[in-house]
């Protein structure tokens, strides 16, 4: 009988449940803006026109547009639990989230996945979880859990996963590792992760059915992947900012092969600038047409991930819409999900419920460290890591002068092995202290960078059993933010977590870092051995191109 009511409302024979009046309606199908009223009944759009409604909202000439889809994100990187993350998303216009919980899976395995799924239940923001495909990311990592192909198939049948999370082990794909190929044997959507892969190697990766990639860093790489039939996710996170280098690949012919994502973005950046809304503004600022940017933000991802009738304003589409004073969603006043108001004037109108987190607490297991544990004898010409501005890519650096370098170390924190990988690091810029955290993609061991060994030891020991983030200045602990949920997420609400994070960042400024990096986000990616060129884990310096440790 729902169709009867909707038809009567659509034809104007009966009043709509809700009418949004005096609106500039963004029509992504015809690339136009329609001025008028929008009718909504039973949670779906019935049409644009001269409608009357039981409830009326005056848009006051504002733009009515579909809500956004976050196409690929690790919620854990916001340092919020899924419920608090959803509240933050809602006020910034995001009502569909494609989330890969491989951060917590690498720490706590199925217990971590269960926690995330439970936390995300019964929210007006739909969080669609992908089953992590790389736990750990590679055979070289020291993670807290392992999910092989057999376990993955069990989990896929046990829980409601939308698809398979990013396949980072592209060397394993190309070398036809049995476990990797078995993981790819699914009829669901498969996300990819293949930085700088091209030519026949890219063909070998794409032929498996992997559907997306979010690691493109230039126009030609994006077009290569689009030619392979893949969707290219243009990323704008807290550290990785790729849109500027990719907008040149978007034209009238390629438009429908692009999505926006943030991948890893801190809560403060989301709260201040939004996530996908920020992507839209950056793209428009680089010359992209605003309606094209909205197509990438709203319509394309719903089709890529088979989310049904969402992402556009047309009869029969879900009334997942928002009102903004401007077309780039910098001043959102109302957010609706299924025709119900879930956020207004920057405030979420719903609460979260808490899942049982007892099995994902107390996850840091190390013996106390000493300054001498981080000592490295400097030699000119040593292999080191050089970090690059606004990027997750790094390159090999041959040391010349110790004065321009920091010390960097990764401390295994899951099984008390005592492993500590050490190297020199160029480009971070710490002069009088250290920062440490239990966030280290994707196995999440403790990563620490500092100007001296003693400060590094103080920073690591400050993390305790809960993990978190610490700042040490001249050997004295200046700030500590606990992250008791798997050493990755706060158990506080978004406002309190933001206050604590701002204090951490403020103290980090006192020990001086390169202002072209986000220090803690950059720190978290130094240990990820699937992003070129060189990384560090608890066993030593790793050559990503050759996929082996430096000798």
- Please report whether residue 5 resides in a domain: no
Q: Report how far Cα 319 is from the mean position of its chain's Cα atoms.
A: 25
Same domain membership, residue 257 and residue 310: yes
- Residue 492, pLDDT score: 94
Provide the residue range defining the domain that includes 406: 361-545
- Residue 334, pLDDT score: 98
Residues 6+ apart with CB under 8 A from 160: 117, 129
More confident residue, 427 or 530: 427
Same domain membership, residue 473 and residue 324: no
Predicted confidence (pLDDT) at residue 217 exceeds the cutoff of 80 = yes
Same domain membership, residue 409 and residue 277: no
- Residue 1, pLDDT score: 54
Percent of the chain with pLDDT over 90: 91
- Please report whether residue 283 resides in a domain: yes
Same domain membership, residue 383 and residue 278: no
- Please report whether residue 56 resides in a domain: no
- Please report whether residue 26 resides in a domain: no
Mean pLDDT (whole number) for 186-203:
94
- Please report whether residue 355 resides in a domain: no
Residues 6+ apart with CB under 8 A from 271: 88, 494, 498
The mean predicted confidence, pLDDT, of the chain is 95
Mean pLDDT (whole number) for 259-263:
97
What pTM does this model have?
0.94
- Residue 240, pLDDT score: 81
Predicted confidence (pLDDT) at residue 513 exceeds the cutoff of 80 = no
- Please report whether residue 178 resides in a domain: yes
Distances (CA, A) of 362 to 44, 111, 284, 412, 467: 45, 13, 44, 15, 8
- Residue 187, pLDDT score: 87
Q: Which residue has the tokens 């990384």?
A: 535
Same domain membership, residue 178 and residue 106: yes
CA-based end-to-end distance of the chain: 70
Same domain membership, residue 172 and residue 256: yes
More confident residue, 277 or 547: 277
Query: Which residues, in sequence order, are bridge partners of residue 118?
Result: none
**CA distance linking residue 230 with residue 288, whole number of Å:** 21
pLDDT in tens, 48-96: 999 999 999 999 999 999 999 999 999 999 999 999 999 999 999 999 9
pLDDT in tens, 136-161: 988 899 999 999 999 999 999 999 99
Number of domains in the chain: 2
- Residue 320, pLDDT score: 98
pLDDT in tens, 321-361: 999 999 999 999 999 999 999 999 999 999 988 899 999 99
pLDDT in tens, 399-433: 999 988 999 999 999 999 999 999 999 999 999 99
What sign does the dihedral 364-237-70-169 (CA atoms) show?
negative
pLDDT in tens, 459-478: 999 999 999 999 999 999 99
- Residue 239, pLDDT score: 82
């Amino acid at each position: 009988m729902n169709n009867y009511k909707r038809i009567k409302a659509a034809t104007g024979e009966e009043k709509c449940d809700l009418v949004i009046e005096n609106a500039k309606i963004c029509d992504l199908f015809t690339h136009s803006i329609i001025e008028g009223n929008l009718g909504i009944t039973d949670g779906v759009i019935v049409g644009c026109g001269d409608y009357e409604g039981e409830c009326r909202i005056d848009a006051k000439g504002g733009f009515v547009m579909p809500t956004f889809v976050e196409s690929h994100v690790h919620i854990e990187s916001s340092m919020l639990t899924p419920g608090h993350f959803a509240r933050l998303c809602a006020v910034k216009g995001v009502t569909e989230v494609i989330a890969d919980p491989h951060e917590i899976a690498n720490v706590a395995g199925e217990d971590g996945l269960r926690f995330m799924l439970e936390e995300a239940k019964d929210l007006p923001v739909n969080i669609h979880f992908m089953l992590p495909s790389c736990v750990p990311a590679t055979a070289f990592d020291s993670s807290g859990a392992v999910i092989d192909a057999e376990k993955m198939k069990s989990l896929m049948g046990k829980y409601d996963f939308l698809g398979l999370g990013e396949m980072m082990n592209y060397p394993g794909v190309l070398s036809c590792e049995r476990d990797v190929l078995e993981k790819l044997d699914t009829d669901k959507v498969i996300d990819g992760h293949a930085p700088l892969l091209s030519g026949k190697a890219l063909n070998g990766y794409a032929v498996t059915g992997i559907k997306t990639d979010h690691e493109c860093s230039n126009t030609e790489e994006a077009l290569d992947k689009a030619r392979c039939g893949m969707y290219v996710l243009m990323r704008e996170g807290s550290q990785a900012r790729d849109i500027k280098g990719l907008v040149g690949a978007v034209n009238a012919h390629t438009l429908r092969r692009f999505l926006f994502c943030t991948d890893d973005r801190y809560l403060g950046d989301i709260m201040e600038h939004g996530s996908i809304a920020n992507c839209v503004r950056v793209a428009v600022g680089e010359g992209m047409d605003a309606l094209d940017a909205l197509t990438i933000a709203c319509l394309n991802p719903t089709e890529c991930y088979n989310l049904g009738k969402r992402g556009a304003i047309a009869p029969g589409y879900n009334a997942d819409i928002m009102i903004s004073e401007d077309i780039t969603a910098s001043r959102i006043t109302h957010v609706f999900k299924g025709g119900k108001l879930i956020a207004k004037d920057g405030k979420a109108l719903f609460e979260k419920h808490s899942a049982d987190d007892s099995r994902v607490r107390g996850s840091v297991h190390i013996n106390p460290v000493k300054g001498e544990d981080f000592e490295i004898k400097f030699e000119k010409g040593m292999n080191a890591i050089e970090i690059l501005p606004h990027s997750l890519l790094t390159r090999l650096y041959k040391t010349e002068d110790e004065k321009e370098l920091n010390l960097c170390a990764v401390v295994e924190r899951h099984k008390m092995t005592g492993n500590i990988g050490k190297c020199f690091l160029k480009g971070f810029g710490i002069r009088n202290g250290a920062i440490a955290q239990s966030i280290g993609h994707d196995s999440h061991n403790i990563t620490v960078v500092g100007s001296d060994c003693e400060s590094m030891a103080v920073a690591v020991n400050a993390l305790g059993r809960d993990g978190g983030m610490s700042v040490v200045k001249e050997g004295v602990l200046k700030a500590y933010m606990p992250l008791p949920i798997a050493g990755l997420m706060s158990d506080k609400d978004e406002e309190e977590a933001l206050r604590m994070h701002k204090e951490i960042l403020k103290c980090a400024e006192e020990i001086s870092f390169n202002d072209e990096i986000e220090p803690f986000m950059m720190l978290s990616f130094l240990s990820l051995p699937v992003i070129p060129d060189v990384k560090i884990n608890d066993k030593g310096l790793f050559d990503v191109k050759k996929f082996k440790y430096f000798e």
